[in-house]
Amino acid sequence: MKAFVIDRYGKDAALRPAEMPVPQPRDDQVLVRIRAAGVNALDAKIRSGEFKLILPYRPPFILGHDLAGVVVRVGSRVTGFRPGDEVYARAADRAIGTFAEFIAVDERDLALKPGNIGMEDAASIPLVGLTAWQALVDKAGLKKGQKVFIQAGSGGVGTFAIQLARHIGATVATTTSAGNIDLVKSLGADIVIDYRKDDFENVLHDYDVVLHSQDAKNLEKSLRVLKRGGRLVSISGPPDPGFAKEAGLPWFVALATHLLSFGARRKARARNVGYSFLFMKPNGDQLRRIAGLIESGAIRPVVDRVFPFDAVDAALAYVEQGHAKGKVVVKVG
């Protein structure tokens, strides 16, 4: 099969086209012919080596986390899928490789794709949809009537999280540039702050939840917009001891997470608010619930650009610029 592989870690490392063997699914896995693959900032961070301590991959390896495609073959213990099913998933850590024509995916990580959207739209959903779900629903416990601040509302996670929070019934505030204000309002944002003109800390007060996706300076300001008892969930770091324990990381990596997050956790405690770090996990059950929301019209995919398969490198470079409105997708089949 054709695939794009990384031969070495490095920010400027090119993705090399290569002929690779078609994966052989285990008894609990499903072999999927990939039709489209989402491109994420996480892919760039994996390539640069930013997560080598947490997610060590031995080059050469195939990059890519999001997929939509068609089931080709199922393992002997698989009961929920059959050949011909149209599916979508976020490939598991240490088993990534969606910039390819085929991938073997654990049955528990897979779901039937929403029936009312195409492959490219479906491939845009898994990573950002699961991130928003696990941050707002699982970790923050966002409820109807609460107020949530979602940073970078026009990005991949932001465009999904705004819609999910609106569906829950929360009041949604977000930041974006002037050119994207109409987009985030159309998705359900109630309060939109042009980050180039205004400081969100001077506008927002007494929020229940913050979904943080930016730098340390904005993290500190975000803690100050929370009310007492509020909760900040960060998807950009620093990782905390809870994450290290949940991920089963070695003791020296767990110690590093303790030290890296000490300042953020101390500042959160001083303000009587919660701080936690989220590194999203694949989850087929949650993807099924997300598919229901998409089929009902509660949430719609937001895709900025679709690149051809041979332009994976260009797609990744475009994502790294940080200006995409929603998601970037590569059409594989």
| Residue 333 pLDDT > 80 | no
The pair of three-digit structure tokens given for residue 189, joined into one six-digit string: 């944002």
The reported pLDDT for the residue numbered 237 is 87
User: Is the alpha carbon torsion for 34, 39, 42, 45 positive or negative?
Assistant: positive
pLDDT at 127: 98
Q: What is the mean pLDDT of residues 268-292?
A: 97
Position 289 scores a pLDDT of: 98
- Average pLDDT of the chain? 96
Residue 255 neighbours by CB under 8 Å, 6+ apart: none
Domain ranges, ordered by start, for the chain? 2-124+301-331, 127-277
324 touches 318 (CB < 8 A): yes
Q: Per-residue pLDDT averaged across 146-158, rounded?
A: 98
CATH topology of domain 127-277: Rossmann fold (3.40.50)
Given this model, what pLDDT does residue 223 score?
97
**pLDDT at residue 273, as a whole number:** 98
pLDDT at 314 (0 to 100): 96
pLDDT in tens, 4-17: 999 999 998 999 99
Which tens digit of pLDDT belongs to each residue from 300-317? Answer: 999 999 999 999 999 999
Burial class (CB in 10 A: 0-12, 13-18, 19+), 264: buried
Q: How confident is the model at residue 35 (pLDDT cuts 50, 70, 90)?
A: very high
For the 2-124+301-331 domain, the top CATH level (class) is alpha beta
DSSP state of 114: P
Among 262, 246, 205, residue whose Cα is nearest residue 228? 205
Reported confidence tier of residue 256, pLDDT bands at 50, 70, 90: confident
What is the spatial distance between Cα 291 and Cα 304, in angstroms, rounded to a whole number? 20
- pLDDT band, residue 204 (cuts 50/70/90): very high
Percent of the chain exceeding pLDDT 70 equals: 100
Q: What pLDDT sits at residue 190?
A: 98
pLDDT band at residue 44 under the 50/70/90 scheme: very high
Cβ atoms of 136 and 168 within 8 Å: the answer is yes
Find the mean pLDDT for residues 68-95. Answer: 98
Percentage of the chain beyond pLDDT 90 is 90
Listed residue (325, 318, 323, 333) closest to 39, CA to CA: 318
DSSP string computed for 158-180: HHHHHHHHHHHT-EEEEEE-GGG
Residue 264 has pLDDT above 90, yes or no: yes
pLDDT band at 155; cut points 50, 70, 90: very high
Indicate left, alpha or beta for 107 from its phi (over 0: left) and psi (-120 to 50: alpha). alpha
Please, are residues 316 and 121 in contact by the beta-carbon 8 Å criterion?
no
> Does 134 have pLDDT greater than 80?
yes
- Residues 58-69: pLDDT tens digits? 999 999 999 999
DSSP, res 117: S
